[in-house]
Every structure is written in structure tokens, then in C-alpha cells.
A = this chain, B = another copy of it.
């Protein structure tokens, strides 16, 4: 299946996010209420995204670490389809969250193991997000063979894997031959001279590579 395109909104205020989403909301497949934005503006972020784009998949990037039931119920009530859990959350937290919303995505940060990943699958969670963290990117790290190997392994295990962190239309080709579920982009689209064109360029490159 052709990878989806997700726009990440890590703005500091809702109005700025809506201004950017207006340009690209119809082009992307998934709209993400970023962690920064939710911590700043709360559930209304998800509510507004849902109201404006009833047909799109909406992700609440809560990076939930505890109280899975409540956080997931709140996100689902606000209109989110997916919600993220941090990989260091316990299995009971992930299961609790998974019971309250369509799908949970596990955000892979820091140290995690394939043994844990298998536990997530066993708990009924089959989406993972592979990151280059923004702070790691700022520290000079970049996408490489070690990242691709991990993504491929997760796909083989049965995960639908989203990838994110410093992606642009050039870096997409690195993933050729890998069944990526979703490419998540933020500034590469929102900070482009023409954001709508940038989102269409992403979609065109995805179509060129994955057909």
C-alpha cells in the first residue's frame, strides 16, 4: 500500500496551526495535533481539526505514559482516530488506552527492544512511530542504514510504521523498498515557500516511488 502523508502541527498556538493547516489539510492524509500544541492549547486542537477536516485521520500526539484510559477517552471524545503512547509506557497503560480509541501508535524514543515491541503486538497494538528526535537532529544525527534496518525489522514483525524527523522530498528515496505506513513531515511543508506545493511534492514523490 502506498505510504500516507501526515502533517505534524507543532505550533505554539492554535491560530498559527490552523493558518498552516488551511494550506495543506486537503492534500495530506493525516493531520497531527502535535505534543507542543496540545500542551499549549489543550483538547480544542483536536476538536478544531476534526471540525475542519471530518474526512481525514486525526492523530493526537499525546505521547501518553500513564493514565491510558483517561487520556485516550479524552482524545477520542475530542475527535481523534489515533493517539500516541511513549514506548516507555507500561503494557497495562497501552492496553487501557487501546480500549478507548481506534488505534494506538507507539512512539519509539530512547532505548527500546524488539522484545518490548513483540509485547506491544501481543497487546493488540500494531502501529509504531520511528523517530529521529528533533534534538538528536539538532545534535547532528541523520537518517542512515541503522534506522532503515530497524524500520524494516518492525515492518517484518507486523507493525505499520510511521517515520518522522527531518524528512524532505529528497530523503523519501532512502526508504524505497520499505513498506512505510506514513511519512510525517512538519516544517519541510509548513515552512516551505509554498506549503501546498510542498505537500503535493511529497505526495508526488511517494506516488513515484511506491506507485
Known: A41-B42, A42-B41, A90-B133. A65 touches B107 (CB 8 A): yes
Check if A134 is an interface residue, CB within 8 A of chain B. Answer: yes
Tell me if A38 and B35 are in contact (CB < 8 A): no
Chain B residues positioned under 8 Å from A170 (CB to CB): none
Check if A74 is an interface residue, CB within 8 A of chain B. Answer: yes
Check if A29 is an interface residue, CB within 8 A of chain B. Answer: no
Check if A68 is an interface residue, CB within 8 A of chain B. Answer: yes
- A112's nearest neighbour on chain B, judged by CB, is B88
In the bound complex, how far is the Cα of B110 from the Cα of A107, in angstroms?
A: 14
Check if A178 is an interface residue, CB within 8 A of chain B. Answer: no
Chain B residues positioned under 8 Å from A139 (CB to CB): 92
This chain: how many copies in the complex? 2
Tell me if B111 and A36 are in contact (CB < 8 A): no
Check if A152 is an interface residue, CB within 8 A of chain B. Answer: no
Tell me if B40 and A92 are in contact (CB < 8 A): no
Q: Which residue of B67, B74, B87 contacts A135 across the interface (Cβ within 8 Å)?
A: B67
Chain B residues positioned under 8 Å from A69 (CB to CB): 135
In the bound complex, how far is the Cα of B139 from the Cα of A69, in angstroms?
A: 13
Chain B residues positioned under 8 Å from A38 (CB to CB): 38-39, 42
Chain B residues positioned under 8 Å from A110 (CB to CB): 87-90
Check if A70 is an interface residue, CB within 8 A of chain B. Answer: yes
Q: Which residue of B70, B71, B86, B92 contacts A65 across the interface (Cβ within 8 Å)?
A: B86
In the bound complex, how far is the Cα of B65 from the Cα of A109, in angstroms?
A: 7
- A60's nearest neighbour on chain B, judged by CB, is B39
Name 13 A/B residue pairs within 8 A (Cβ), A-sorted: A10-B70, A35-B67, A36-B67, A38-B38, A40-B42, A42-B42, A42-B44, A63-B65, A66-B109, A87-B110, A88-B88, A92-B139, A93-B135
Further contacts, 7 of them, CB under 8 A, given A65-B86, A69-B135: A10-B67, A38-B39, A65-B107, A66-B133, A68-B135, A86-B109, A88-B110
